Amino acid sequence: QSALTQPPSVSGSPGQSITISCTGTRGDIGSYNFVSWHQQHPGKAPKLIIYEVNQRASGSSVRFSGSKSGNTASLTISGLQTDDEADYYCCSYAGGSTVVFGGGTKLTVL
């Protein structure tokens, strides 16, 4: 049950696009299309934004998109807005009815 690997931080300017990577193994991301992404603002509960690799959750902005290649999943946020500044966590099914999270990425909107 090793955590997925995310960059600790990314940054971008308003209007730009950024991508957050999430690297796992053949035992999790590489074997299942069950990757989700969650956004967490400081002091708040996480919120689902993407599920099943690239499906937007109800109420999520169209500016959020997900993809996967091999053992790595990615979250892209286009047209960055100040409210996008938050922590982002990937999560993948890892077999045996278990899931594993990434370490989280802090997005700073400059």
Partner 1 sequence: EVQLVESGGDLVQPGGSLRLSCAPAGFTFKNYGMYWVRQAPGKGLEWISYITADGKTFYADSVRGRFTVSRDDVKSSLYLHMNNLRREDTAVYYCARGRASFYFDSWGQGTLVTVSS
Neighbouring CB atoms inside 10 A of 58's CB total 5
Among 47, 56, 72, 78, binds partner 1 (CB under 8 A): 47
User: Under the criterion CB under 8 A, does residue 11 sit at the interface with partner 1?
Assistant: no
Fill in the amino acid letter for 21: S
Among 38, 64, 71, 86, binds partner 1 (CB under 8 A): 38
User: Under the criterion CB under 8 A, does residue 102 sit at the interface with partner 1?
Assistant: yes
Q: How far is the CB of 48 from partner 1 (least distance, A)?
A: 5
3-state helix, strand, coil in the chain (%, to 5): 5, 50, 50
Give the interface size with partner 1 as a residue count (CB under 8 A): 27
Smaller CB separation from partner 1, 13 or 96? 96
User: What's the token pair of residue 87?
Assistant: 């922590």
**Chain centroid to CA 64:** 10
**Chain centroid to CA 26:** 18
User: Under the criterion CB under 8 A, does residue 56 sit at the interface with partner 1?
Assistant: no
Among 51, 56, 63, 67, binds partner 1 (CB under 8 A): 51
